[in-house]
Every structure is written in C-alpha cells, then in structure tokens.
Amino acid sequence: MSLVENLSRWMHLLFGILWIGHLYYFNFVQAGFEGKLAADMKKSVIPENRPRALFWFRWGAMWTFVTGILLVGFNYHMNRANLGPDATGMAMGVFLFPLFIYFLYDIVAKKVGGGPMSMPSLAVNLVLFAGYMALCHFAAKLGGRALWIHAGMAFGITMMMNVWMRIWPAQRRIITAIKEGNAPDQADVALAGARSRHNTYMSVPLLMYMFAQHSDGFYNAAIGALGNHSPLVMVFVTAALGFFFANLLYKKAGQLSGF
C-alpha cells in the first residue's frame, strides 16, 4: 500500500504539471498567437498543433484526477485520524460531494444571466464553493489540513470535468470546422474559452491548497479571535488572492507580442 501511495504521489505531480502547464500555454500563449494568424494559416496550423497539445492536456487532467483521488483515499479516508480529531461520519459524504457540486456549477455557468464569465455567474459558483467548504468545516468537522485538501479536490474535480465534458468536445468541433475551412460555431468557441478561463482562475488557489499541505503554519494560521475557524477563512483568502494573481497573469499575457 505504501508503494502504491508513493507512486500515486509521483504520478500526481507529473500529470499535474502536464495538465496545468498546457492550461497556461493555451491561455497565456496560444490564444494570443492564434489570434494573429491569417485565415489560411489557421486552416493549416490549428488542426496540426492544437490536437497534440489537447492530448496531453486532457489525459494529464484525467490522470491527475485518478491519482489525486487515490491519494485522498489513502491518506484521509483510509486513515481517518488525518481527517482531524473531531471528524464526523459526514467525512465520506464530503469526499463524494464535489462530483455533485460540478453539475450544479455547470448549470449555473450556462444559465445565470450575462454568460458564464459574468459577475452573477461567478458569484453564484463561489457561493457553491463556500457552501461546500462550510459543510466540510461545520458538519464533517475536518481538521485544517484535511479541509485544505478537500478545497483543492473540489476545484480539481471541477476543472477535470470541465476538460472532458465541455472543453474537449467543443474543441473537437472547433478544430474539425477549421480544418474543413468553415467558421466554428461561436457557441463552442465561447464555451471552450469560458471554461478554460474558469479553470485557469481555479488553478492558482488550487496549487496553494495542495502544496500548503506541507506547511501547517499557513493553513492553521491563527487569526485573532477566529480560533478553529481560521483554516476555513484562509481557504477563502487564498481563493481571493489566487483569482487576483490569475487576473494579473491574463493582463500580462494580453500585453505580450512577437518580434
């Protein structure tokens, strides 16, 4: 079991780099580059380049998810002491709940007025995330370390599902249309672009949720009178800071140009 756990940890890091690296390439490099291509160049370049990158992108996402679930299972739900001294029987429920959360998120991202990147849509989805974290903290009573890994798991599962259920199917249709010399459906372009942007924003706090596991001075930081609620508050502070940093990256990407 120890061998499987350590191999899973190694593969989780490897596939996570493959996945997030390509996510940043798509959002901060490729988007600006392809926008400068002439129409005839797009027909020859995009069908050759994009499918190759999308292969590593989508399978990196899938295997990051698989190895991540194994790690959470091994380290927390098969070793319940790591869930925290006050963890309740709700702990297994919060382990499975992010899959349900994704379908609520998906509905909100499509249905709330103003489009998936609108402030109302983003606000409702952040409320869903806050509700899940509150469930983990107040009902399952997860300790600080377990709370943070479940925050990362919630974002990670949402991102993986976006890749396989929304981004990849839309990209297949977009690439096929471009290869055939047709204009892609703008609904597909908007969907793939919005979900990729969502994933980029979530990825920045996600990295801190995962790597803060090795620094209890961060996720268990005492914040005055908040006491045991400090890890929950720090989850939201990290999400806000992560979104801010992601926005700075987008701004910088928009200023870059070729020689």
Each residue's pLDDT tens digit, 57-76: 999 999 999 999 999 988 88
Q: Is the dihedral of CA 165, 166, 171, 173 positive or negative?
A: positive
pLDDT higher than threshold 80 for residue 87: yes
What integer best gives the mean pLDDT of the chain?
88
Distance CA(232)–CA(237), nearest Å, equals 9
Start-to-end C-alpha separation, the chain: 52
* Residues, the chain: 259
Distance CA(98)–CA(120), nearest Å, equals 21
Non-local CB neighbours of 33 within 8 Å, separated by 6+ positions:
258
**What are the pLDDT digits (tens) for 185-228?**
999 999 999 899 999 999 999 999 988 776 666 666 555 556 77
Q: Residue 191: which of 109, 101, 105 has the closest Cα?
A: 109
| Confidence category of residue 35, pLDDT binned at 50, 70, 90 | confident
Q: What is the DSSP track for 30-98?
A: IHHHHHTS-HHHHHHHHHHHHHHHHHHHHHHHHHHHHHHHHHHIIIIISSGGGG-TT--TTHHHHHHHH
Query: What kind and span of H or E run contains 211?
Result: helix 186-211
Mean pLDDT calculated for residue range 169-184: 94
Three-class secondary structure assignment of 18-39: HHHHHHHHHHHHHHHHHHCCCH
Neighbour count for residue 61 (Cβ, 10 Å): 27
Place of tokens 């700075």: 248
* Residue 241, token pair as written in the block: 């800071």
Number of helices (H), then strands (E), in the chain: 10, 0
What value, to the nearest 5°, has the Cα angle with vertex 159 and ends 156 and 163? 140
pLDDT higher than threshold 90 for residue 20: yes
Q: How far is CA 108 from the centre of its chain?
A: 16
Mean pLDDT calculated for residue range 135-154: 91
Q: What region, left, alpha or beta, does residue 114 occupy, with left being phi > 0 and alpha being psi -120 to 50 degrees? A: left
What value, to the nearest 5°, has the Cα angle with vertex 8 and ends 69 and 52? 85
Non-local CB neighbours of 13 within 8 Å, separated by 6+ positions:
none
Question: What domain range is 145 assigned to?
Answer: 2-255
State the pLDDT at residue 117: 65
Distance CA(120)–CA(188), nearest Å, equals 21
Please tell me whether residue 138 adopts helix, strand or coil conformation.
helix
Count of domains observed in the chain = 1
